[in-house]
Homo-oligomer: A and B are copies of this chain.
Amino acid sequence: MRNNEEILSLFENYLAQIQLPEEPQLLYQPILYAMSGGGKRIRPTLLLLCCEAFGGDVREALSAASAVEMFHNFTLLHDDIMDNALVRRGKPSVFAEWGENVAILSGDAMMIYAYKLLRNVPENKLPRIIGIFTEMALQVCEGQQYDMDFEQRQKVAVAEYMNMIELKTSVLLAGSAMIGAILGDASEDDCRKIYRYALELGLAFQLQDDLLDSYGTEEVLGKKIGGDILEGKKTCLMLNAMSRATEEDREVLRSTHLDASLTNEEKIARVKEVYDRYDVPRMINQQITTRFERALSILSTLDIPVERTVYLKEFAENLMGREK
């Protein structure tokens, strides 16, 4: 069995040899730019690890792995237009570099190209995999729409937020894992379990992402702490606090980021003071741990020897920055 690094290098080599057409340049160059812009390749790695855990041949899963990575990057291209985001992975976004029309159309082509890559899975598995991929892709769109809806709404329940992040981010991880398991000839039951493992892991990851944005360090985060607070974003911290705070504290949470008399540092400190008073970080941390451990515990219930799950465990630990 290959470890995470070997899997990743196999994947990068496969990706590098995919030949996109040369013309029209403004359609295909941005795709190349986006796909070679790095990123952690989380979804394809997981897909390949799942395939191999069940004894499948990863080389036969490389095309499907590229499909989920292509799809993920398509969502980034279009999200960057919707969010007016000029920077992606430390470089200009496709939207910033080529403009909106190119980002729309290249994104469209990426999504279609994902299906082209998916087409290469064994024919007897294609109907099922196309079905899973398509449901997953629709759910990602739903998640993105809820995310935009929530920005416009005064009140969002914690449960609604959890549903949104599940759709927007976890489902893609879960679907990737399941496609890998199918390609590895896992049983129905194990396919469902591996989906659940990745879903819980994805939720843990997203909650941790929210937590670190306010409580991490600049080194780990790779950017300044407190960005979400300064944007007044409805993160799980914010919604958790809002659900339990007094009306007075809720007003602090709602309005601090708009208060022009405060410096950024003061805004961040004031909101975190409320979070701390309601014990929000500890509660979120507990949820993260619960979900993370639930994900790991699912691995031990799979119908394969426990030593075959070692790299899936490692993957989860790496993703959460909980390396041994």
Interface residues of A (CB under 8 A from B): 21, 23-24, 26-27, 78, 81-82, 100-101, 104-105, 107-109, 111-113, 115-116, 119, 123, 126-127, 130-131, 134-135, 137-138, 141-142, 144-146, 148-149
Contacts and interface: CB of A to CB of B under 8 A. Distances in A.
Contact of A142 (B24, B146, B148): B24
A137 B119 contact: no
Contacts of A141: 27, 105, 108-109, 112
Given A27-B141, A112-B137, A116-B138, 16 more contacts: A21-B142, A24-B142, A24-B145, A26-B148, A81-B100, A81-B101, A81-B104, A104-B104, A107-B108, A109-B138, A109-B141, A111-B111, A112-B138, A115-B115, A119-B131, A126-B127
Contacts of A107: 108
22 contacts: A24-B142, A24-B145, A24-B146, A24-B149, A26-B148, A27-B141, A27-B145, A81-B100, A81-B101, A82-B101, A82-B105, A109-B138, A111-B112, A112-B134, A115-B115, A115-B134, A115-B137, A116-B134, A116-B138, A119-B127, A119-B130, A119-B134
A101 to B, nearest CB: 5
A127 B131 contact: no
B145 A105 contact: yes
Contacts of A148: 26, 101, 105
Given A24-B146, A105-B82, A148-B101, A138 B113 contact: yes
Contacts of A23: 142
Nearest to A83: B101
A92 B49 CA distance: 48
Contact of A27 (B105, B108, B112, B142): B142
A149 B26 CA distance: 8
Contacts of A82: 101, 104-105
Contacts of A100: 81
A113 B111 CA distance: 12
A100 B131 CA distance: 29
B134 A130 contact: no
Contacts of A26: 145, 148-149
A21 B142 CA distance: 10
Nearest to A123: B127
